[in-house]
């Protein structure tokens, strides 16, 4: 028994990046301070989510890489089942994004992220996209979950899926000129994509291009977020003193627009500190890759995917709060209120540490990057 405990302790200490783990908890504390002033019930629930998330991170990190390697295809099947079940859930403001479990709303598309990261890494490693014959297979495997989420409709999460899949494909050897050609084709196909968007999504894009077009309707969220960000100035109004959030002018101020709430109350300085925290966390994720210590394709590609996923979410959320990109519903990692997002991100980090454990001497050998 004692040997087992020592083995677990040594395993945790050898491949979990505890500095990164502490950093993500510090980032989460920004959200906790804001939630404490917004709604104490949200604060308590978010604390529970973070505690369970860290437990999930530690538990996932103990999984042997060989187990993850062989379970990855099953994870993909599970992802599709989760996304299909979503359509059986309640219709909330025209979207089928949530299911209710034990009285709690869960967002399956969030839990699908780590499963897709795991599966796409497996698929790209087994069938490298540098060989043109495998590219149609990868496109089909990507389009199925992508379209299921886009149809909910959830444009923000769809974009996140596309970003980390494309980054992983490039890391797996996909030709960059081919990507450029596909991008040109996509531009010409934009009219067709426009027809796939829900009416409210079209309104958001139109409003982004002309914010004053409908200030009391489609443009309301964007304008209120920009007012909140602008009114924060250098040091902010102070915790709990934000007028846009606490007087309910800013909708979803504890989830999608929590960055605007943060900047209004903590100012440019608070927003910069949060972005600096994210930058350091991303550096901890990608540091082994930059230093050349990741030699196997499997941890290499997974690292690129997780990096792209987090970076995309940060860019979209902060960008829409500042009015530089269209409004789309997406959470700010570890800061926005919500259990699905926190647990999904923690699971992703746990899988990252588990897969990197192979670099510490596990028997399973992956193809070289």
Cα separations (Å) of 218 from 6, 91, 204, 211, 225? Answer: 58, 20, 6, 9, 13
Query: Best-predicted range by mean pLDDT among 7-11, 61-65, 201-205, 276-280?
Result: 276-280
Q: What mean pLDDT comes out for the span 172-185?
A: 82
How far apart CA 245 and CA 264 sit, in angstroms, is: 9
Q: What mean pLDDT comes out for the span 189-197?
A: 67
| Contact by Cβ (8 Å): 158, 150 | yes
Q: How confident is the model at residue 356 (pLDDT cuts 50, 70, 90)?
A: confident
Q: What mean pLDDT comes out for the span 297-311?
A: 95
Whether 357 has a pLDDT exceeding 90, the answer reads: no
Phi–psi pair at 87, nearest 5 degrees: -70, -15
Of 6-10, 94-98, 307-311, 328-332, give the lowest mean pLDDT range.
Answer: 6-10
pLDDT of residue 6: 55
How far apart CA 343 and CA 52 sit, in angstroms, is: 7
Higher-pLDDT residue of 45 and 104 is: 45
| Contact by Cβ (8 Å): 353, 17 | yes
Written as six digits, the tokens of 23 are: 């950093």
Whether 74 has a pLDDT exceeding 60, the answer reads: yes
Task: Cis check for the bond before 302: say yes or no (omega within 30 of 0).
Answer: no
Whether 359 has a pLDDT exceeding 70, the answer reads: no
Whether 166 has a pLDDT exceeding 70, the answer reads: yes
Cα separations (Å) of 46 from 53, 130, 133, 341? Answer: 10, 43, 46, 11
Helix (H, G, I), strand (E, B) or coil at 101: strand
Higher-pLDDT residue of 45 and 197 is: 45
How far apart CA 301 and CA 296 sit, in angstroms, is: 9
pLDDT of residue 178: 81
Helix (H), strand (E) at residue 274: helix 258-290
pLDDT of residue 191: 67
* DSSP per position, 137-181: HHHHHHHHHHHHHHTTT-HHHHHHHHHHHHHHHHHTT--HHHHHH
Phi–psi pair at 211, nearest 5 degrees: -55, -30
First to last CA, the chain: 38
How far apart CA 62 and CA 237 sit, in angstroms, is: 44
Whether 303 has a pLDDT exceeding 90, the answer reads: yes
Written as six digits, the tokens of 286 are: 């990608």
Whether 361 has a pLDDT exceeding 60, the answer reads: no
pLDDT of residue 363: 41
CA atoms within 13 A on the CB side of 144: 17
pLDDT of residue 38: 84
How far apart CA 249 and CA 31 sit, in angstroms, is: 19
Phi–psi pair at 103, nearest 5 degrees: 80, 0
pLDDT of residue 207: 64
Whether 182 has a pLDDT exceeding 50, the answer reads: yes
Task: Cis check for the bond before 138: say yes or no (omega within 30 of 0).
Answer: no
Higher-pLDDT residue of 198 and 81 is: 81
Q: How confident is the model at residue 2 (pLDDT cuts 50, 70, 90)?
A: low
How far apart CA 92 and CA 357 sit, in angstroms, is: 41
Q: What mean pLDDT comes out for the span 249-265?
A: 85
Cα separations (Å) of 196 from 37, 62, 187, 201, 328? Answer: 40, 42, 15, 10, 15
Residue with tokens 């780590």: 114
Whether 21 has a pLDDT exceeding 50, the answer reads: yes
Whether 60 has a pLDDT exceeding 90, the answer reads: yes
Nearest to 211 by CA among 222, 195, 201, 203: 222
How far apart CA 207 and CA 69 sit, in angstroms, is: 45
pLDDT of residue 360: 47
Of 72-86, 184-198, 199-213, give the lowest mean pLDDT range.
Answer: 199-213
| Contact by Cβ (8 Å): 297, 369 | yes
| Whole-number percent of the chain with pLDDT over 90 | 47
Going by the DSSP 8-state scheme, the letter that residue 154 receives in this structure is -
Helix (H), strand (E) at residue 100: strand 99-101
Kindly provide the residue ranges of all beta strands, DSSP E only, lying in 185-275, ordered along the sequence: none
Round the average pLDDT of the chain to a whole number and report it: 84
Cα separations (Å) of 157 from 163, 187, 287, 317, 330? Answer: 10, 20, 26, 11, 7
Packing angle, helices 18-38 and 258-290, rounded to 10 = 180
Higher-pLDDT residue of 146 and 12 is: 146
């Amino acid at each position: 028994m004692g040997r087992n405990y020592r083995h677990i302790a040594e395993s945790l200490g050898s491949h979990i990046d505890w500095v990164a783990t502490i950093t993500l908890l510090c980032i989460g504390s920004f959200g906790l301070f804001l939630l404490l002033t917004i709604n104490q019930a949200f604060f308590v629930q978010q604390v529970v989510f973070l505690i369970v998330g860290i437990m999930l991170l530690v538990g996932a990190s103990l999984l042997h890489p060989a187990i993850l390697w062989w379970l990855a295809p099953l994870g993909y099947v599970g992802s599709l089942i989760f996304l299909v079940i979503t359509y059986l859930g309640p219709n909330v403001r025209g979207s089928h994004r949530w299911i209710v479990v034990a009285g709690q709303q869960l967002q399956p598309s969030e839990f699908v992220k780590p499963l897709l990261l795991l599966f796409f890494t497996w698929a790209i490693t087994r069938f490298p996209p540098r060989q043109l014959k495998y590219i149609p297979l990868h496109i089909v495997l990507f389009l199925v979950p992508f379209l299921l989420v886009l149809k909910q409709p959830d444009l923000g999460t769809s974009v996140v899926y596309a970003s980390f899949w494309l980054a992983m494909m490039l890391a797996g050897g996909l030709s960059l000129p081919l990507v450029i050609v596909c991008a040109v084709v996509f531009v010409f196909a934009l009219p067709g994509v426009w027809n796939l968007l829900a009416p409210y999504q079209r309104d958001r894009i139109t409003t982004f291009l002309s914010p004053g077009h409908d200030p009391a309707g489609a443009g309301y969220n964007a304008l209120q977020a920009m007012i909140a960000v602008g009114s924060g100035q250098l040091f902010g109004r102070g915790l709990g003193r934000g007028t846009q959030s606490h007087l309910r002018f800013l909708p979803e101020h504890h989830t999608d627009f929590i960055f605007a709430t943060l900047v209004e109350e903590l100012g440019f300085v608070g927003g910069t500190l949060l972005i600096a925290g994210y930058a350091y966390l991303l550096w901890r994720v990608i540091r082994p890759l930059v230093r050349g210590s990741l030699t196997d394709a499997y941890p290499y590609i997974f690292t690129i995917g997780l990096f792209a996923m987090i970076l995309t979410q940060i860019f979209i959320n902060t960008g829409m709060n500042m009015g530089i990109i269209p409004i789309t519903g997406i959470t700010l990692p570890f800061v926005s209120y919500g259990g699905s997002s926190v647990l999904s991100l923690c699971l992703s980090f746990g899988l990252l540490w588990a897969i990197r454990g192979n670099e510490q001497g596990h028997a399973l050998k992956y193809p070289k990057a």
